[in-house]
Structure 1
């Protein structure tokens, strides 16, 4: 299997004129990616020029040109994906990863995608949001025969409109998408577009979710809503890379949602506009400033902003349980419960028993609790000031003055100027002034907030 580095060596050393006709007649090379790290943007080696995207914890699939057609090769196959350091999942994906590689083309390109099926069952690919011939739409049984195990099918169509799209199976969809089969597709405009600005940084990622029991590695595909791992591109914090940008860069972030629920995506430190959906760029008159954009199931949202403030700015889903890793959702609330007496009795039977949730859940982020193998802590990750009590769909945008144009490397933690960090106040805090306490109906002070008189009949109504 060809690595991405080998592919670049191949394309860099052998121009089209030196490739033999016999080699061109074969299918395109299979390019695979093993590392979960964010790969640098892939500048187009041929065809129309465009500004490439950066796929968070992912990569862009290379292509070859044949008779003026861009040819790609996707391989549907079982993969092993590191969700975060300490946990790997047995998923299904494309070309070594879940999600599969991003496909980048230009408006007007004719594209030809070969799809080889190495899954244990048949599959198809639906090109979500594309305008194309009906027989290329990828709904198994309706638009095409299913792709049997071991077979290769080819899809061919023209990328008719610019925008951000997705690809995923339309065959045994509940299983295959729950196992991680999905990918991003970006069609760049072929020239200056009145609704599409030129940006300095262009990021994309998919929202997906899994239900994987602690200690196991394979998702439970029959889960409908109660997922326990909420991820971006099949990565959970602290395994999600940061979005590293230069101060005053114009930044675009493309977010697609293939989970079973909506996600209000919230970015700290800036206001942004929603400049595109899977229907294409939004009219300028429909845009307004936001700090949170809801991305519903099967939708894409494209946001843009100027990174005008230095710092490490949180970026996360605003559903609080989506920024936590595997946990039991049926655990009772224990806040305020005094465990003192019961602790002694339980420790006689279970010497390692620990109190959980008596003062809230933050203590659990600091405890060195033993975990099953291949499981992530519920809240994890360290920041410069201590534990970052987040997991799941959480990362950050790192804005730096010294970040060079085109440099996507992690600049490390932000060094705050003196006097700009929230700090403890040393002065004593005075007791608050309270209003006189109201008397109870019996004339003595009480803690009754609401007195309810139930009607005994209709008299006087």
Structure 2
């Protein structure tokens, strides 16, 4: 599952150490092995074989960081470093991340665990890690210069604390934060309840919302961008290359969504209503859970929702800000709707035969065009379904509910075949006369005839 290589020597030997507790017992035992991942495929973590039982999270196009046990402490090793991340087939970004990937690997542990997290800095500048939402000692909070000295390049620091509450948390730098987060440094931290009977689910999916501004044909994000990003991603991945959420009919499903972009995201799921069961602050009591079909995720926040997979089919799940389901989008493109570009097209093609006009009747033709693009660039709208182009990108995927999916099976089952009579179809008969209005005045609908 993992590409492992042992970190050697100088980084650990000269480490500046944050933790004092228990360090004397472990200083001569070496660092835990640092696991690395170079694949963008979703990796499935097996259920625990010791300790409290829980359903491991499934990080879409991501993975869970392995740990080792050392005198009752769970030890992890994060390596902050430059990485190459495949955002989609045909596009690679040069980012900063952890253990070979951006977003970084998910950390999973259990309420009541004591964790020791070694952080090795292989970046060209200092860094830290802030454990977003976790309750811990001040000196472990990861704010450079405030909580502890920043981690210099080539050094390893240790964070050590008890996990006193369960829930969904995040990690990210609090050192040169604008640059390091814009370059992709972030990850999720899941603390499962110590009581296996508390809020159990059959499938537990994890999505980190992040964004980049990468000019077409280039590889490195523009770090000074404030809001005008052109690549909106889930776990540093864009549609159509975000893996689907595969579910067996009848499963109890949880979807956890964290947001470390610069704007809010209304996440909408088709085909279902659901209940919001967890926020940054903790689990929502059952009596206070509220029903939604869309849940807005604020900046720097997390929401989790749950539903029972009763309805077979392929159901879209996406951000409902329409520009966030597009790729490599130029926001200064003129609007040409209603413009006759025939003569202009003829003139341009006299010296540029490959010119393709677009936008005079909307932008849907982008879904079928095979226009030549700069290297390392993906189309603005893309993805094909069983009935034609899906015309999406960015923050979009599909919840695929099927019968007969094994508990540990997350493989894509293909497209859903709608049963007879359950698919919209073309009408070729006569149309009834419809009443039309010619002004914008409010009109009251009469009450139905009670005798009818």
TM-score, length of structure 2 as denominator length: 0.90
1:61 aligned onto 2:65: yes
Which of 412, 415, 422 lines up with 2:414 in the alignment?
412
Could you say which residue in structure 1 is the equivalent of 2:337?
A: 335
Distance 2:256 2:231 in 1: 21
Q: How many residues align?
A: 422
Cα gap change, 1:108 to 1:420, in 2 (>3 Å): same
Is the contact made by 2:183 and 2:221 (CA closer than 8 Å) also made in structure 1? yes
What does 1:78-117 correspond to in 2, within 5 Å? 78-117=82-121
Distance 1:253 1:286 in 2: 18
Cα gap change, 1:357 to 1:98, in 2 (>3 Å): same
Distance 1:70 1:355 in 2: 58
Q: Give secondary structure in 1 for the equivalent of 2:350.
A: helix
Distance 2:132 2:241 in 1: 27
Cα drift, residue 283 of structure 1? 1.7
Rg larger in 1 or in 2? 1
Q: Give secondary structure in 2 for the equivalent of 1:78.
A: strand
Cα drift, residue 287 of structure 1? 1.2
Q: Give secondary structure in 1 for the equivalent of 2:366.
A: helix
1:146 aligned onto 2:150: yes
Could you say which residue in structure 1 is the equivalent of 2:288?
A: 286
Q: Give secondary structure in 2 for the equivalent of 1:25.
A: coil
Could you say which residue in structure 2 is the equivalent of 1:17?
A: none
Could you say which residue in structure 1 is the equivalent of 2:29?
A: 25
Is the contact made by 2:3 and 2:37 (CA closer than 8 Å) also made in structure 1? no
Distance 2:94 2:314 in 1: 32
Cα drift, residue 315 of structure 1? 0.2
Could you say which residue in structure 1 is the equivalent of 2:48?
A: 44
Is the contact made by 1:256 and 1:298 (CA closer than 8 Å) also made in structure 2? yes
Which of 236, 261, 264 lines up with 1:262 in the alignment?
264
Which of 212, 236, 239 lines up with 1:237 in the alignment?
239
Could you say which residue in structure 1 is the equivalent of 2:188?
A: 184
Is the contact made by 1:30 and 1:95 (CA closer than 8 Å) also made in structure 2? yes
Cα drift, residue 127 of structure 1? 0.2
Segment of structure 1 superposing worse, 45-54 or 248-257: 45-54
Cα drift, residue 432 of structure 1? 4.2
Gaps of 5+ in 1: 8-20, 439-448, 451-461
Cα drift, residue 200 of structure 1? 0.4
Q: Give secondary structure in 2 for the equivalent of 1:364.
A: helix
Segment of structure 1 superposing worse, 397-406 or 215-224: 397-406
Cα drift, residue 410 of structure 1? 0.9
Could you say which residue in structure 1 is the equivalent of 2:205?
A: 203
Gaps of 5+ in 2: 6-24, 442-452
1:247 aligned onto 2:249: yes
Segment of structure 1 superposing worse, 62-71 or 184-193: 184-193
Distance 1:166 1:23 in 2: 28
Could you say which residue in structure 2 is the equivalent of 1:222?
A: 224
What does 1:363-382 correspond to in 2, within 5 Å? 363-382=365-384
Distance 1:430 1:373 in 2: 52
Is the contact made by 1:42 and 1:60 (CA closer than 8 Å) also made in structure 2? no
Distance 2:26 2:336 in 1: 70
Cα drift, residue 433 of structure 1? 4.7
Cα gap change, 1:292 to 1:5, in 2 (>3 Å): same
Cα drift, residue 91 of structure 1? 0.6
Distance 2:181 2:26 in 1: 37
Aligned-pair RMSD on alpha carbons? 1.9
Cα drift, residue 393 of structure 1? 0.1
Q: Give secondary structure in 2 for the equivalent of 1:215.
A: coil
Question: After TM superposition, what 4+ stretches of structure 1 lie above 4 angstroms from structure 2?
Answer: 21-24, 430-435
Q: Deviations over 1:194-235 (max 9, x none)?
A: xx4110000111000000000001100000000000000000
